[in-house]
Amino acid sequence: MQTIRYELIDAAGGKVAQITFDEANSPVNTMCRQWQDDLAEVTAKVLADRANLKGIVLASAKSSFFAGADLKATMRLTPDDAPAVFAEIERMKKQFRTLETLGIPVVACLNGAALGGGWEVALVAHYRIAVNDPKIQFGLPEVTLGLMPGATGVTKMTRLLGLLGAQPYILEGKLFNPAEALELQLVHELVATPDQLLPAALARIAAHPQAMQPWDDKNYKMPGGTPANPKIAGALTVAPAMLKKTTRGRYPAPEAALAAMAEGALVDYDTALRIESRYLARLMTTPVARNMINTFFFDMNAIKSGKSRPAGAPRFKPQKVGILGAGMMGAGIAWSQASRGIATVLKDVSVDKAEAGKAYSAKLTQARVDKGRMTPDAQQALLARITPTASAADLAGCDLIIEAVFENRELKAKVTQEAEPQLAPGGFFASNTSTLPISGLATASSKPEKFIGIHFFSPVDKMKLVEIIRGKATDDETVARAFDYVQALGKVPIVVNDSRGFYTSRTFGTFVMEGAAMLGEGIPAAVIENAAMQAGLPVGPLAVLDETALTLSVHVMEQTRADYAAEGKTYTATPGELLVERMVKELNRPGRAGGGGFYDYPAGAKKHLWPELRTLFEKPDAPWSVQEIQDRLLYRQAVETARCLAEGVLTSTHDANIGSIFGIGFPAWTGGAMQFIYGMGVDNFLRRADELAARHGAGFAVDAKVREAIEKFRPVY
């Protein structure tokens, strides 16, 4: 066997079979085809030795227990494969069922993580022993990949925790550590070190020579009751509607998992397993599953492993970082640094303003103290790491200084030249600009090769993505150090090359301006906003414009016009940009912060669309359909993303997909802006883009260079 080792251990009165998972040439154990074949073979060995066996131990030779399904194989599946997938799942479950119904104890030794299919392997055991390490994670995160637990996970977790108790772990993919598992009674014993696992397992087998799963006991009752219980029935009545409100019908996995839970609870255990298998086989062959696996597993792992980081540069661990500007962005960056143990100097034009920026961290920490998630001592230690100041001299010795001042070139140049001399030897300087080209800002630096863009998203304490922008002069070491800095904050870095708006702001602009353009064409604002959310976008384009401030969009456009003029060119504003400019300059609607934009914000009441939009813009005879609106919003961003690849602003699809989802809210069910193209099928996408270009303009046009880039970056599995 290539993935499993089988040996017999002498025990009191007989033998104990130790089944050790050890997939050859792999850092982790997976449910690959070879493992499934080996599982059948090892089960046959157990049956042959059954007369002499006192128990079975499940163990791992890897640093983790078991990683789960072979996702590369899943990526190659098509709907035609569903019957074969169902048969494979049922075959694997047959081996599981054989091992757990022999009447002898099966004990799992959990030396490390057991996620997805790995946790389902652990659930084969009657008794689970884990190393008490809070960094170890258990659980069923399949729903985050467009799948559901289908190798007994839904059925067993429902029977162990009840229909209501199991929902967070199945429908939300909530994970838990060994101590939490013990509290949930999903793990039965904790040990201090991996070396203690096997002795503890053998002791358990010796003390309890007989074992069965809880649901095989004739006296078993499901915790909380079955759907026949009025309380459970009432909860299940509203659950699908609540789920649909969250998924908007775009994510089939949680809906399938809920159905499998409810239907399985009404029947016997073995029938419940078949129900679960059918739902999983269907999900595994859907485009949504492929999209989400591609991005949230393969693309995310590519970024975490540093594929976008220049190779060879030594690792950088920030010790002291300065921030220029204590406004919303600067205050958020200060919090992110201090919460990760980094000494932070927060500078503004006055100590009062710098103190106000530090107060943001005090507010966030106090909320955690009030909820019992942080001790007062930890709060004070975190706040002590932030030094508010108005003096540039306090920046002396910083490894990195980040300017987060207003989007004005002259101001940014001034603070750069004031602060840069305070850097420690070998230190580097960064701008948090969201739109201004880094190469232009770097002209104010004495060392443009050590100048880089580090673009955070607001609110910084909640947004995981950070866009790193390499200027024309930025060297590899500076890019690598910026990458390490972002990872030190626990955030997700993408690396892009310099251009106006970089990747995220540039593409985000196409989304919101397409929405504004549709309003200008006479399409009702409510239709635009609701169609966007039904497509899986977090909010509509008009609401986003209000939150980010229409005045900011106008400022960016004016800066672009000025830059074009300086180059002897004329900038032609898009219909959406012109409408936003009219909202600000003619209609005095600057956005939420200025009292109102596309929406009104009455005190103490829910926001609502500004009634005058109907009078000013809506045309009763304007042609529209929900599908057309959704296509315009999604295709416009996807086309711009492909253009960024063709122009070299982006250099990988993993940065494109992760950046589009975590930076600008592109719907997760698509797998991101580039995966949206590949998931649709390149030919289908190009055909539809041509149709949209013919009706709605050059923003949707895909030229030969862009088509070539789409083909060049097409993923292969």
Residues with a known catalytic role: 120, 142
Q: Mark out the alpha helices in 123-229 (DSSP H runs).
A: 153-161, 167-171, 178-183, 197-207
Q: Which residues make Cβ contacts (< 8 Å) with residue 645, sequence separation at least 6?
A: 651, 653, 656, 674, 706, 709, 710, 713
Phi-psi domain of 202 (left: phi exceeds 0; alpha: psi -120 through 50; beta: other): alpha
269: exposed, middle or buried (Cβ count in 10 Å: 0-12, 13-18, 19+) = middle
Among positive and negative, which fits the CA dihedral 670, 674, 679, 683? positive
Q: How far apart are CA 133 and CA 20, in angstroms?
A: 21
- Rg for the chain, CA atoms, rounded: 28
Classify strands 492-497 and 599-600 as parallel, antiparallel or unpaired: unpaired
Q: How far apart are CA 402 and CA 310, in angstroms?
A: 21
Residue 492 β-bridge partners: 465
Task: Return the closest-CA partner of residue 507 out of 615, 665, 378.
Answer: 665
Give the Å distances, CA to CA, from 61 to 1, 34, 35. Answer: 14, 17, 14
Q: Mark out the alpha helices in 131-286 (DSSP H runs).
A: 153-161, 167-171, 178-183, 197-207, 230-247, 252-264, 269-284
Q: How far apart are CA 390 and CA 105, in angstroms?
A: 68
What DSSP element (H or E) covers 346?
A: strand 343-347
Report angle CA 178, 183, 189 to the nearest 5 degrees.
55
Q: How far apart are CA 460 and CA 544, in angstroms?
A: 17
Classify strands 451-456 and 465-470 as parallel, antiparallel or unpaired: antiparallel
Displacement of CA 93 from its chain's centroid (Å): 30
Task: Return the closest-CA partner of residue 476 out of 345, 622, 310, 332.
Answer: 310
Q: Which one-letter DSSP state was computed for residue 591? A: B
627: exposed, middle or buried (Cβ count in 10 Å: 0-12, 13-18, 19+) = exposed
Whether the CB-CB separation of 347 and 389 falls below 8 Å is answered with yes
Maximal C-alpha separation, the chain: 92
Q: How far apart are CA 56 and CA 507, in angstroms?
A: 56
Q: Which one-letter DSSP state was computed for residue 215? A: G
Q: How far apart are CA 21 and CA 622, in angstroms?
A: 63
Both structure tokens of 525: 């604002």
Residue matched to tokens 């081996």: 95
Both structure tokens of 606: 């829910």
Whether the CB-CB separation of 177 and 134 falls below 8 Å is answered with yes
Q: Which one-letter DSSP state was computed for residue 294? A: I
Task: Return the closest-CA partner of residue 426 out of 359, 345, 480, 502.
Answer: 480
SS3 state of residue 235? helix
The gap between the terminal CA atoms of the chain, to the nearest Å, is: 25
Both structure tokens of 717: 């599995």
